[in-house]
A and B are shown apart, each in its own frame.
Chain A
């Protein structure tokens, strides 16, 4: 199986690559993990990962700057059902629109918008940065063997905006930061995580292994 991590100029993908390689190796899966920026290579992948750091609009611009990438993604994920994982801003891009520095359209695969975190308690800092636990709303194979809840494993978050999904059924898990913030979204062959599995030690490696095994 081949896994394509899409490089569209949004940050360093080296640690993501290494984390996916490690997870594949430790799970005894023989997946080939590649960093790709060529839409043709995306089309031949068995699984697609869209990372992303920085601002929503910048990431969107980076994605559009690669000729044919959006079409390749739409064809694979929307028509062929290729399993897809979005990470951080790569997850936020799934929404209809982002509200960071003006309104920017997203992929629209998960209805909703990406809005600023505005905690009422001034002691809650922005960005929401660090390790937080997950509350599961909808069980999903990507969370197999991952204990959740306050006594479960933690995920590493760093973000100032969050995806407010139009359909609550698409919110698989939340994390509490003064209010429940969307931590994992999903529908059909698409999942997105707000946190960084490649930085979340054992929890992250398990989640990546689950994604590599997932047959939607």
Chain B
């Protein structure tokens, strides 16, 4: 039986983890590779890097992080942030990422999704959607960290990118992001039920029950969280055991320590 996935997400800026990871003794908690190795050993089902480096010229630093992570962690790795061209996707995949997450570039040019999927396969293309509620059961796509409205309906957009060949949707509620009040379950369920590809729920996790809700009520295939793991509130293992206890199918395989 296919298991629900728990995906920790690390924000990376100029090759360093923003805010660091507190849950385990690391020599350098700001090194994304060390954090990735720790999450790998903790039983994370996948890993996500979100690059928030302002300058596109510093891309080499991120690629080096991806390369070193792929050498040390034998688990799926998604990288997003600033993915604008086919070459950006190619460079990430060649560095060892398994999936590239694209957001703004897809909003401005839907054909980019099709091109990426045709070139590298749907399994490589994650479309990230940042959505805000604008009415009863209506959500709109926002860019620039939720500051810029686009006028695009989130559900119609999700269906469109799925039909263009996206392999997965990373759905973040900008209303809930950082609020710790749980996923926007209406949004998550509406999108998950509207598309045939897997949806990753993101934005708003504050408790382990929120993770359960994202799968059970939100119909998501995976849940993504950042702060509850980074700050040591909960470990990946605690989260997955909690979800299993709630009756969700989870992978609880023993992990070997993945020393570099």
Residue B160 is within 8 A (CB to CB) of chain A in the complex: no
Asked if B67 and A14 make an inter-chain contact with CB atoms under 8 angstroms apart, the answer reads: yes
Contact with A along B214-252 (1 / 0, CB 8 A): 000001011000000000000000000000000000010
Instruction: Name the CB-closest residue of A to B254.
Output: A202
Residues of A within 8 A of B253 (CB): 153-154, 201-203
Are A53 and B167 in contact (CB-based, < 8 A)? no
Q: Judging by beta carbons under 8 Å apart, are A15 and B96 in contact?
A: yes
Are A129 and B168 interface neighbours, CB within 8 A? yes
Determine the chain B residues whose CB is within 8 A of the CB of A128 once the complex forms.
Answer: 2
* A125 cross-chain contacts in B, Cβ below 8 A: 196-198, 221
Cβ proximity bits A33-55 to B, threshold 8 Å, 1 near / 0 not: 00000000000000000000111
Closest beta carbon of chain B to A46's beta carbon, Å? 23
Number of A residues near B (Cβ < 8 Å) is: 41
| Contacting pair B197 A131 (CB below 8 A) | no
User: Which residue, A18, A22, A125, A127, has most C-beta atoms of chain B within 10 A?
Assistant: A125
Segment of A65-73, A78-86, A155-163 in the binding face: A155-163
Given contacts A129-B198, A131-B251, contact A204 B2 (CB under 8 A): no
- B96 — which chain A residues lie within 8 A by C-beta? 12, 14-15
A177 to B167, CA, bound (A): 17
Within the complex, the shortest CB–CB distance from B32 to chain A, in Å, comes to 16
- Report A1-36 CB contacts with B as 1/0, cut-off 8 Å: 000000000011011001100100000000000000
Contact A204 B74 (CB under 8 A): yes
Residues of B within 8 A of A202 (CB): 253-256
Interface segment out of the listed B14-22, B54-62, B119-127: B119-127
Cα A205 to Cα B72 with chains together (Å): 12
Verify if B5 is at the interface (C-beta below 8 Å from A).
Answer: yes
**Smallest beta-carbon distance A68→chain B, Å:** 25
CB distance from B80 to the nearest CB of A (A): 17
B-side contacts of A174, CB under 8 Å: none
Within A141-156, which residues are at the interface with B (CB < 8 Å)?
Answer: 150, 153-154, 156
Which residues in window 108-128 of A have CB below 8 A to B? 122-128
Contact of A199 among B74, B94, B197 (CB under 8 A): B74
Nearest chain A CB to B145 CB, angstrom units: 27
Which residues of B, 1-39, contact A by the 8 Å Cβ criterion? 1-5
- Chain A nearest CB: distance from B116 CB in Å? 11
Between A and B, 30 residue pairs with Cβ closer than 8 Å are A11-B93, A12-B94, A14-B94, A15-B70, A15-B71, A19-B74, A53-B123, A54-B123, A125-B196, A125-B197, A126-B197, A127-B122, A127-B167, A127-B198, A129-B168, A130-B45, A130-B221, A130-B222, A131-B3, A132-B2, A133-B1, A154-B253, A156-B76, A159-B123, A176-B1, A198-B74, A199-B74, A200-B74, A201-B255, A204-B74
- Chain A residues engaging chain B, CB cutoff 8 angstroms: 11-12, 14-15, 18-19, 22, 53-55, 122-133, 150, 153-154, 156-160, 176-177, 196, 198-205
